[in-house]
Structures are given as C-alpha cells and as structure tokens.
Amino acid sequence: MGAYFARRFLLMIPTFLGITFMVFLITRFVPGGPIEQMVLQLEQGGGKGGETGAAATAGAAQNTGRGSRIPPEVMAELNKKFGFDKPVPVAYAHWLWDVVRLDLGKSYKYDTPVIDLVTARFPVSIYFGLIGFTLAYLVCIPLGVMKAIHHGSAFDLVSSVVVFVGYSIPGWALGTLLLVYFGGGSFWNLIPLGGFRSPGWEQMDWWNKITDQVHHTIAPVICFAIGSFATLTVLMKNSLMENLGQDYVRTAFAKGLPEKRVIFVHALRNSLIPVCTGLGHAIGIIMAGSYLIEFTFNINGLGLLGYNSVIERDYAVVMGVLVINTLLVLVGNMLSDVLYVVVDPRIRFS
C-alpha cells in the first residue's frame, strides 16, 4: 500500500507540470499580455511610481510618432523584468524554481507578492466551501437514507421532485435569485448584497461580529450546498438500495436481527463508502464553485481573486491562483484514494 501511495504521489508531479506549462504557454503568447499592458500604461503616462515612473517619463520624452513610442531600451528592460527575453522553456524553468521556493512572483496591480494575496484570500474560500459542504452532507445523507428505506412512497416521490429541482438550478443561479428577491432590490431586504463581512467589522462587539458574519454566510452557503445536493442524495440512496439487496442483509434478517439494526448498522455502514470517498474530490468542487459563487456574491476569496486577475491580465496572480487550485485538486484526489483504502477494508492496492 505504501508503494501505491508513493506512486500516486509521484504522479502528481507530471500532472502539475503539465497543467502549469500549458497555461504558462498561453499567457506568454497571447496579445494583451503584461508587456502590452505596461506599454499601454506608459503611453497614457500613468506609470506607478519608482522604476516604472521613470520609464514613463522616458517614454513620454520619446513620444514623437504613432509607431514605436516606447524606446527600445525601456522595452528590453520590460521584457527582462517579465522574463520575456528568455526562451519559453528557460522562462518556465525559472518560474518553476521560484514556485518551488514558494515565490509566486509579484502582482503588478496590487504591487504585493502573490503568495500574500493568495494566503489572505484562501481562508475566505475555504470558510464558505467547507460550511456549504458540511451542510450538504448533513442534509443529503439522512435524506438519501430515508428515500432508500421508503423507496416508492409518497415521501420518496415528493423528495425526488426536490432533487430534480436542485439538479436543474446551478448554485450561482440560485444566488442571483436570492439577491434579487431577498437582497433589498424591489422585494424583501433580508440578506446583504454580498461580501465576506460588513465594512467596519473589526470595530464591532463580539455579538455583532457573530451575527454579521452569519448574516453574510447564509446565502452563499446555501448556494454552495445546492451544487452537490442532488448528486449526493441520489448517490446515498442508490448506494443504500444496492446494499439492501445483498446477501449479507438477507443473512442478518435471517438470524433474527431487528430491521433497524440491519439497516442502520449493517447496510448503512457499507453504503457510506462511496459517499465518504467523495470527500476528497469535494475540494475540487469547492474551488470550481468558488469562482461562480464568489463572483455572484462579491466575496473576496480565491475565486474572485482569480477572476479579477484574468480580467486585469495580472498574469502573476493568474498563475498563482492556478497553482493553488491545481495543488488543491491533486491533494483532494489523493485524499479520496486514501479514504478508499481506509474506509473500505476490501480494497487492497498493490
């Protein structure tokens, strides 16, 4: 088993390299990259202090015609700053070496190290994602069990409708509906328009701090939870139904155990296996959801940071968020594999 996990772990490396290299290539060859952004800024005379400010004045002095407004030496300097003077593999190797030392470069919009930006936003995303996911598990597992036990009953049919509805509404779509109807537009004013906390949260007393946080948490968390609500419920139900048809359940009944014990102790334990192993993949799902839901609710988490950096073409941040996202997905997949072995003693990897 140790060898299996060692191999799984080693497999993460080419995966990581493949993904980052692909995106690195894209960010290098597209129009509107960091250099063009810089040049545009210089031409508008809007340099941002220090080195670039000097470059801007130099650029303005040379600003004679419509053709090459930026002097070649400034251009070369810019190219060097962003590593565009080296061939792609070398530049990628440099970037990778920096990443290994946890240096993700510097955001040219915020002028702060990317790693600081990412670590500041990361807890926000995880906060919403984890609460949402816990909520989903707390609702879906009992619901799936009830549906399986009362398969074909009125309760099963009615809850199936709810599941269908949940499956047909993406989380962010529910979010916009909540905002329009409960966010103080033309209807009720029950939830804030978004954000992680109210401005001035630091100055509140502890009771207001808590209520304000809860107030901002409810709507996004519901949206996170609905994303996995339908699939998780159906998975739980089918898994338990399958187990209820197994021979060991027949044996348990035959030896005279009460129905409750057979279902909740024997069958349920086995049917939780596929649900548990999904926990690892949850990390990837949380991340994917965070782009849409943080955008919807304007929450300053990792997803919104990534989104804004794409819009602003802040490529150091784009790559930084991608690195973190990829690592999280890989670790999550690995975790799922570990859970498989831990939860299900029948599985032996060799």
Partner 1 sequence: MSTAAKTSAHPNSPPPGVVVPESREESASVLVRRWRKFKSMKRGWYSFLILLSLYALSLLNPLLINQRALIVSHQGELRFPAVTEWFTDRLYAAKDLGQRAIGECNYRKLKEQYDAAGGDDWVLLAPYPFGPNESLMEELEGRPPHPPQQGHWLGTDDRGRDVFARLAYGFRISISFALLVVFLDYLIGVAAGATLGFFGGRVDFYGQRLVEIWAAIPFLYTVIIIESTLKPGLFMLAVLLALFGWVGISYYMRGEFYREKAKDYVAAAIAQGESRMSIMFTHILPNSLTPIISFAPFAIVGSITALVSLDFLGFGLQPPTPSWGELVNQGKQNIQDWHLVTFPLAALFATLMLVVFIGEAVREAFDPKTYSRLR
Count of residues touching partner 1 (by CB under 8 A):
64
How far apart (Å, rounded) are the C-alpha atoms in residues 192 and 201?
A: 14
- State both tokens at 153: 């009953």
- Contact between 47 and partner 1 (CB under 8 A)? no
- Contact between 93 and partner 1 (CB under 8 A)? no
Closest by CA position to 316, among listed 91, 56, 166: 91
How large is the angle between the packed helices 114-149 and 315-343, nearest 10 degrees? 40
- Contact between 311 and partner 1 (CB under 8 A)? yes
Q: Which stretch binds partner 1 (CB under 8 A): 66-74, 105-113, 268-276, 288-296?
A: 288-296
How many Cβ atoms sit within 10 Å of the Cβ of residue 35? 15
- Contact between 35 and partner 1 (CB under 8 A)? no
- Contact between 269 and partner 1 (CB under 8 A)? no
- Contact between 172 and partner 1 (CB under 8 A)? yes
| Contact assessment for residue 320 and residue 104, using Cβ atoms and an 8 Å cutoff | yes
- Contact between 330 and partner 1 (CB under 8 A)? yes
What is the distance of C-alpha 333 from the center of its chain?
Answer: 14
The one among 313, 335, 338, 343 contacting partner 1 by CB under 8 A: 313
Shortest approach of partner 1 to residue 282 CB, angstroms? 14
Shortest approach of partner 1 to residue 186 CB, angstroms? 5
| Burial of residue 331 (number of CB atoms within 10 Å: 0-12, 13-18, 19+) | middle
How far apart (Å, rounded) are the C-alpha atoms in residues 56 and 44?
A: 9
Binding mask of the shown chain, residues 190 to 209, with x at each position contacting partner 1 by CB under 8 A: ---x----------------
Closest by CA position to 288, among listed 336, 334, 316, 322: 322
Residues 6+ apart with CB under 8 A from 173: none
- Contact between 249 and partner 1 (CB under 8 A)? yes
Contact footprint for partner 1 (CB under 8 A)? 11, 14-15, 18-19, 22-23, 26-27, 30-32, 151-152, 164-165, 167-170, 172-173, 176-177, 179-181, 183-187, 193, 238, 241-242, 244-246, 249-250, 253, 259, 262, 284, 287-288, 291-292, 295-296, 306-307, 310-311, 313, 318, 321-322, 325-326, 329-330, 333
